[in-house]
Structure 1
Amino acid sequence: MTVTASPAASSRTSVDMSAPNRDLSAREIALDVRNLVKGFRKKSGGSLVRPQYTDSRAVDDVSFHVRRGEIYGVLGPNGSGKSTLIRAMSTLLIPDEGTVSIFGLDVVRDEAQVRRLLNRVSVDAAFYKKLSPRENLLYSAQLYGLDRHVAEQRALVTLRRLGLKDKAFQEPLEEMSRGMQQKVAIARAFLTSPIVVLLDEPTTGLDPRSRRDVQEFVLELRDVHDATIILTTHDMPEAERLCDRIAFISGGKFVAEGTAEELRTLVGPGKTLEDAFIELTGEELAEEEQA
């Protein structure tokens, strides 16, 4: 691990990060992000006739790599750039600067090939709520050109593994809890058997049982199915339990990266991961975000 001060951490202990290790072989690197920048223009004032805009960077010169079979966590509060980063990695946003590659394929230049390798689960998964999980999943399978019988069986296996009852497979999604809907979103993501999975706050708002079911499934994907997983979260215990390495993000910048133990060690003996996050970023996670 290296040392670079970020604006967010400039008045506190700062951690610097070196460029990702490029000595790893191409086969070992599943995801390679180099100097990624993504900004947005927002209205800041003016009038209806002459509005004024300001440009801000949601992701600001971020570089890192994820090894094959690794669970890599990006930990930060809402508005820190986590979801923008995930969208850029999943081909949903075009980077303003820098590159993202998945197993050597550029997400912009090789978009179609990249999409065959990965899938994404977000906290705001969209469905046709009047339809059942079965109908939603079979519709998605058709979009991907999957055999409906294979897709249905694969979805059932995943949903059972996540603790969903068989009878719920035929019930309208609008009658299901937030946790059950999120399990359907995970099942949809795995219809295509992706080798890279982008999980954007997948357990936010779930009850403790559903959160545990999803976390155990994530570990199983890594250990049994050799999936590479990028997880964004603001849940400290979740990050410690699931992630092989963790990056702290604040104001669109990575301010520290390492194992949970390494990050705790950076701020002194007896410190928690939350202590490390607050010390290195200068931010706190709101209580409702940790619930």
Structure 2
Amino acid sequence: MSYALTAENIKKVFKKNKKIVHALKGIDIQIREGEIYGFLGPNGSGKSTFIRIASTLLIPDAGEIKVFGYDVVKEATKVQRLINRVSVEASFFKKLSAIENLLFAAGIHGISKKEALKKIYAISERVGLDRERLNDPLEDFSRGMQQKVAIARAFMTEPKLMLLDEPTTGLDPRAKREVQSLIMHMKEKLGATILLTTHDMEEAEKLCNYVAIIHKGRIIVKGHTEELKAMISHRVKNPTFEDVFMEFTGVSFDEAEYEEAESA
């Protein structure tokens, strides 16, 4: 079996206001090439911390993550060539146009202007960006449009592993559907491997081949989406992911959100 990402016993501790916060308490996962792997959990559960470690932005206090066999700490430069990350708040030069932002990103990665323009126009068409709007400043774009630019920027480098950290949070329903459709397109047409963090139950069930439920820095249960629901189908008729979450954590998702906020 070929894995895009493997993680063993990942731990991370932060100090916040003289308080010790155990953000990750021994995470173990394996992501197969070509799948969408979902990290489902409330805000503050450790999802984004894991993404930042996997993308070489943070160093774990314990454990090891490998991306296509390369250690994210010891071989960070090699890992960075294979990945790209899209976060809930994508960073841009808001006064510059979309195409100026994309050309700047291409230059950082050593892509020539001629090749970059070719990629920009091709990817923009795939992600549903209006070519006529590429010259408009990013500050005039909706959140959904900005997320599409962020994903287009990420795909210019043709990453083997895409790390999507809450990519649809805060989007209006239409933009959310468009970004979700784009994620499916990335997997089915481009063969991308995707790690998706979300606190949206329906999104996880709709998009992910495999889901790990994370709560208070630990993975509570993991499995294929239908397998997780099947585990409780003998007790709950037509179970939802909300039912799955409550079954294995002992609290509702809303209660979990409150618990995470209180412990932060």
Normalising by structure 1, we get a TM-score of: 0.84
Aligned partner of 2:217 in structure 1 is 252
Aligned partner of 1:48 in structure 2 is none
| Cα shift at 1:286 | 4.0
1:208-237 Cα offsets, whole Å, 9 max, x none, are 222222222212221222211100011111
Aligned partner of 1:35 in structure 2 is 9
Does 1:261 find its partner at 2:226? Answer: yes
1:113-145 Cα offsets, whole Å, 9 max, x none, are 100000000001111100011011111111111
1:35-91 Cα offsets, whole Å, 9 max, x none, are 000110111xxxxxxxxx221111110001001111100000101111001000000
Aligned partner of 1:277 in structure 2 is 245
1:227-276 Cα offsets, whole Å, 9 max, x none, are 11100011111111111100000001000001111111223342211111
User: Moved runs in structure 1, 4+ residues, more than 4 A?
Assistant: none
Does 1:178 find its partner at 2:152? Answer: no
Normalising by structure 2, we get a TM-score of: 0.92
Does 1:107 find its partner at 2:72? Answer: yes
Residues 207 and 153 (structure 1 numbering): CA distance in 2 closer, same or farther, change over 3 Å?
farther
How big is the alpha-carbon RMSD for the aligned residues of Structure 1 and Structure 2?
A: 1.5
| Cα shift at 1:185 | 0.5
- Contact 1:77/1:284 (<8 A) preserved: no
SS at match of 2:253: coil
Residues 167 and 286 (structure 1 numbering): CA distance in 2 closer, same or farther, change over 3 Å?
farther
Residues 283 and 140 (structure 1 numbering): CA distance in 2 closer, same or farther, change over 3 Å?
farther
Aligned partner of 1:223 in structure 2 is 188
Using the alignment, how far apart are the partners of 1:93 and 1:126 within structure 2? 18
Aligned partner of 1:213 in structure 2 is 178
Does 1:70 find its partner at 2:8? Answer: no
Count of paired positions: 253
Supply the AA of the counterpart residue of 1:42: K
- Contact 2:7/2:64 (<8 A) preserved: yes
Using the alignment, how far apart are the partners of 2:252 and 2:135 within structure 1? 42
Using the alignment, how far apart are the partners of 1:135 and 1:286 within structure 2? 41
Within-5 A mapping of 1:2-13: none
Within-5 A mapping of 1:18-57: 24=1, 28-43=2-17, 53-57=18-22
| Cα shift at 1:284 | 3.2
**Pick from 234, 239, 245: which aligns with 2:199?**
234
1:83-116 Cα offsets, whole Å, 9 max, x none, are 0010000000001100000011000111001000
Within-5 A mapping of 1:115-134: 115-134=80-99
Using the alignment, how far apart are the partners of 1:283 and 1:31 within structure 2? 30
Using the alignment, how far apart are the partners of 1:97 and 1:158 within structure 2? 38
Q: Which runs of 5+ in 1 are unaligned?
A: 1-23, 44-52
Does 1:196 find its partner at 2:164? Answer: no
| Cα shift at 1:279 | 2.1
My pick for the range that moved more, 32-41 or 212-221, is: 212-221
